[in-house]
Each structure stands twice: as structure tokens, then as C-alpha cells.
A and B are shown apart, each in its own frame.
Chain A
């Protein structure tokens, strides 16, 4: 912690960064912090409750963050993958951001939970994590932490759904999407949802009805998932932001598995590796095409 705070003080005092974006203690657990003066550096914390994907604040369409100056962002390994996504998609240039990597031993599901990692509390995204020590960084802080308990709960649930008939899956998803109020919190919380104007906000033509009936909701959730296929880093922020509890991670994770199966692609923190949608191989699988 001291390492992180000292670095923050230095970056701000030297004028290398205008703001350091990390985590602080809020009334309901850990939350994002925007440190703009060296004196506030001691507010910063990092523990297993720091679940937020702060790469979201690097979205170029956030003028209120831009106004604070050049950002230095604290990133876990999974957050670094989202930063890589922004770099890959030309939303960010590497010299416009300072990345402070933290060695991570897994996070809990919500920032309000105690920072104790058990099979019941660990976030599903930590399953199969390959970036406990982020590589895409300018500074690396913190000690190596032990591997978190493993939970394959998400993959188990997907296997259960896969085993159902299409009709049963349809019933499951209609019951889930029926709750959607179309607040688009899932989109706002997503570090990779960076379009200047989201397709669901467009009205000429209106591809996606803004009404929260199931017809509009299916169009939205199919599109959100499709547009994130091969791009989603699996941080689960969409699901955490959803005020009505739609299990969006199931869809995202399913598409991660599909993309792995079809194109042998796993999302990476290397911005030089192209995303699978937008690229192609001449010998891609095409059994589904008559």
C-alpha cells in the first residue's frame, strides 16, 4: 500500500499525472477514487474488494475525467486486458496514460463484501486468470499474492443451460430479460462499450427499440453480446451494475468459450494481437454454412 501511495504522491508532485485513479474506502466498501493532489494519496487502498474495472474511466467519451489531466490508472491484470482493448481499438494511445499495475490474488464479487476470498465469495472472473501480475504497465506495485480459491460456477451454469432444449433456454432468458428496464447500466459499466453513439440510442433508423418490452430487450441483449464477442474481457462489471440482476456474465462467458472454440482466441493484454471479429482466416470453421 505504501508503495502505491508513494508512487501516487510522486506522480502528482512531479506533474507526470493529473489524476491517479485507484480505489478508496467508501461507506459501502471499496470504490473508485480520483486523487488529484499528493496530500490525498493516503486515501488509496488495494485489497480483494477492489473489483471495479477502472479502465472504464479511460473511455475517451468521458470529458469529466479528461478534464482532470493525464490519468494514471491502477490496474489489475484483468483491467489491463480492457486497457489493451482500448489501445487495440485506437481509443487510447499508450503515451496518454500511465498504468500502475497491482499484483492481484483475486477479488470478491462485490466491493461491499469482506475482503476474504473463499470459494463462495471469489468473483467468477478469477477462474482461469492468467494475469495475476499485469504486464501492460509502467509501474508494478504490491507483493505477489496467493492464488485465490477456484470456482468454475459460471462454466457449470453454462453447461447446465447448454444441456437444456432451446425452448427451455428461451424460457430462462425471457424470464431474465423481462426484468430489464433498459437503463443501459451494462453498457455504461463496460470498459469496451466506447462508441460515440451506441446503436441502441440511434433512432434513424431505429434498429433497437428503446422500449423495455421483451422484443426491445432481446434486440438489445443480443446486440450487446454480439458487439462484445471476442472483445469482452470478462470483468463482469455489466452484471454487477445491472440493477435488476440479469446474469449477463453467462452470455459473455459463453461467447468467450465460443470464440475460443471457433477461432482459438482468448482475450489478451497484448494490444498488438488483433481481436477475432474484424479479422479472419481463410480456413475458418464453416460447418454451419450450407
Chain B
């Protein structure tokens, strides 16, 4: 993925605050990495709706959860029903959403949206997903790279990728270099152009150099870790469904599925009907995951994925064989969240390295 190509403008730290204030004053919803104002202790940032620039936590570590909840909420209403005598009245949900802006998304989270777009428009277009996608303008934050669990470079991304983004902010001394890469992004900049300093001042060259250095350092940092070939992995995974390799991975996994919760690309959901009282209720879809036993449990009691070995294999299969077979790219952006969140130390990067090793042999 190439970096943003629009003309770079400068947004000072102070004007970032002003930009946030203007966006909120204009009545638009703003999502950014921010700390939980109610948390007793610090903790890391999450993507949240914010109401002031003071909440911004761009400097924090990678947000704990990915951005997907703002497009596929963990629980959302598909429609409501009301019984009217012998009839049932269906109340549809709107698929148009008020505009929202994301500032400071990590490139791996933003790129994930476009990867998931494919399955959301596969035969049937998911209007709720695309309604939110279309209503959202996303400005990435060029990523400093979190730690050794990051591997975006190994799945065709980069810490300064702008895939699916409308623009990008790159930290430079005193503020951010801002590039827009879509019309939506340009419109956002245009709407607040008094806050942006143009690129022709004397300091501009220095800032460009600082930005280039920042990005190069991040790329070098992430590239130092995992060296794999996803094509090779796809072939091996496709050919080794019953390999003993999988039985070595399952025991450690306790099936907690925290990996799927935090994953920017895991998008499976369950659909449930919930009564809200007598004669009326809602159909909802909720996040679901192949890491749990009930995900594949048949009504008969038979479970085709009867143990955690087969469930973990499914996770790797879906991401690195099934999805690329169907849509031409892996269902993973290398954010490393699954490795960080796993209470038992299961490490996807390590698993991929092992598979790559096996595939090479």
C-alpha cells in the first residue's frame, strides 16, 4: 500500500484541538482513540465518541478494541416486530446514518474495513454495514508500530498505509502533517481550512523530512519481525487440513474468543429474536465467533468442531485459506491484537511463522 498522495498540510497540536471543537460544534460525531473518563486507573485508549480534544489519546498504545464496532456494533437491531391482533407488523431500521468522522485510526484497523467490505457485499449487500461505511470519514494516524506482535508488513500493509482511509495524520514536531487521499477527506480539510497551514512555508521541508523519517522508522521496526509468505501459507493450510500440526495448538487455547472480539477483521455474527415484552420485540445480530463450541453445535447435539484443535484450525483456515481463496486476500491486517489479548499466550505470528516454515520444507 502506498502512503497518502495528497498535498501535505500542517495541523498544529493546538489546531487539532480546534478541529475537534469545530467538528463537534457542527454537530458531527467524532471517534478517536481516547481514555475511558470513568476508568479508575489509566488503562489504554479505546476508540470512543469524544466530546472534547482533551480526551484525545493519540500517543497511547494501540486501542484495545479495533474500529469494527463502529461499523458492525457488537449488538444491533435488524428490525422490530409488533403483534397487532393476528398480524405482525415489522418496523424496519434506517440504513442511512448521520455522518461521523474518525480521527487517528490505525492503518490496520481502517484497511480491515475494506477487506471485510468484500464479504459484506457478497451476493447480498449488507445495508447497515455500508450505510455506516458511507457515512464515515476516516483519517488514519501513521502508526509508530506497537511492539513485536505487529506484523502488518507481512500481510501486505504498512504502518503508514492509507487503504480505505480518507486521509492520514503523521506526527511531526509541534503537530501533524495531514494528507487527504479521497474526496471525502479533501472535503473535511476544505471545511476547516483555516486550521491547516499550507505546505509552502519555510518549515514545510523540515516537517516533510521529519514525517518521512518517522514513517521509515516505523516500517523498519515492523519489518524486523515476521518474515512470511502468505501465498505459501495459503497453499499449505489448504493442503493440510488433517495435519498433526493443529493438534499441538488446540490444548493451550481455552476457547475464550477474546482474539475474535479484538480482531479488526473477524466479522461473524449470530442472529437472535428477543422479546421486549408481550407481543413485541427485536431481531438483533450480535458478534459471534468460531472459537466457541456452540458456534457450530447442531440441533441434534452433534458438533462438527468438537474440540479446540479444530476451532483454532478454523480460525487460521478462514483467515489465511478460505478468505484468500474466495476474495483474493487474507483476512488479517497484522495488528497483533489477538496475540496481545490471549490470556494463554497463543501467538498468531508464531503460528504463521511455524506454518511458513512447514510450507518451505
Name A's B-contacting residues (CB within 8 A).
Answer: 19, 26-32, 34, 52, 56-57, 62-65, 67-68, 111, 157, 172, 175-176, 181-189, 201, 209-213, 216, 237, 240-245, 247
Contacts and interface: CB of A to CB of B under 8 A. Distances in A.
A16 B149 CA distance: 38
Interface in B31-85: 36, 38-40, 43, 64-65, 74-75
Given A182-B286, A185-B343, A244-B64, A211 B272 contact: yes
Q: Is the interface of B mostly helix, strand, loop or mixed?
A: loop
Contacts of B287: 181-183, 212
26 contacts: A27-B148, A27-B149, A27-B347, A32-B252, A62-B251, A62-B307, A63-B306, A64-B250, A67-B307, A68-B251, A182-B74, A183-B257, A183-B260, A184-B292, A185-B256, A188-B256, A188-B257, A201-B294, A209-B274, A210-B286, A211-B274, A212-B287, A237-B343, A243-B261, A243-B341, A244-B65
Contacts of B64: 243-245
A52 B342 CA distance: 12
Nearest to A243: B258
Interface string B239-253: 000000001101110
Contact of B38 (A175, A184, A210, A211): A175
B247 A212 contact: no
Nearest to B345: A31
Contacts of B318: none
B284 interface: yes
Contact of B251 (A28, A34, A189, A245): A34
B163 interface: no
B106 interface: no
A94 B289 CA distance: 35
Interface residues of B, number: 47
Given A175-B38, A182-B74, A62 B345 contact: no
B185 interface: no
Nearest to B312: A64
B65 A243 contact: yes
A111 B343 CA distance: 9
B345 A26 contact: yes
* A-B pairs with lowest CB-CB distance, top 8: A31-B345, A185-B256, A188-B256, A64-B250, A243-B258, A26-B345, A241-B343, A64-B307
Contacts of A213: 75
Q: Is the interface of A mostly helix, strand, loop or mixed?
A: mixed
Contacts of B102: none
B112 interface: no
B207 interface: no
B307 to A, nearest CB: 4
Given A65-B251, A111-B345, A172-B38, A243 B350 contact: no
Interface of B: 36, 38-40, 43, 64-65, 74-75, 148-149, 247-248, 250-252, 254-258, 260-262, 270, 272, 274, 284, 286-287, 289, 292, 294, 306-309, 339-341, 343-347, 349-350
A264 B144 CA distance: 53
Contact of B272 (A64, A181, A184, A209): A209
Most A CB within 10 A of own CB, among B148, B252, B294, B350: B252
A185 B43 CA distance: 19
Nearest to B284: A211
A189 B279 CA distance: 38
Most buried by B among A57, A172, A184: A184
Contacts of B257: 183-185, 188
A187 B289 CA distance: 15
A34 B346 CA distance: 13
B149 A212 contact: no
Contact of B254 (A34, A63, A188, A210): A188
Given A64-B247, A201-B294, A243-B65, A185 B344 contact: no
A176 B38 CA distance: 9
A67 to B, nearest CB: 7
A188 B255 contact: yes
Contacts of A243: 64-65, 258, 261-262, 341
Given A28-B149, A52-B343, A211-B75, A183 B256 contact: yes
Given A244-B64, A245-B64, A210 B272 contact: yes
Given A27-B339, A184-B292, A242-B258, 5 more contacts: A27-B347, A57-B254, A64-B308, A188-B254, A209-B274
A210 to B, nearest CB: 6
A30 B254 contact: no
Given A31-B345, A52-B344, A184 B350 contact: no
A52 B251 CA distance: 14
A70 to B, nearest CB: 14
A182 B74 CA distance: 9
B97 to A, nearest CB: 19
B350 A27 contact: yes
Query: Which of B64, B254, B272, B340 gathers most chain A CB within 10 Å?
Result: B254
Contacts of B261: 181, 183, 185, 243-244
Contact of B256 (A172, A241, A247): A241
Contacts of A67: 247, 307
Contacts of A210: 270, 272, 286
Given A184-B257, A209-B274, A27 B349 contact: yes
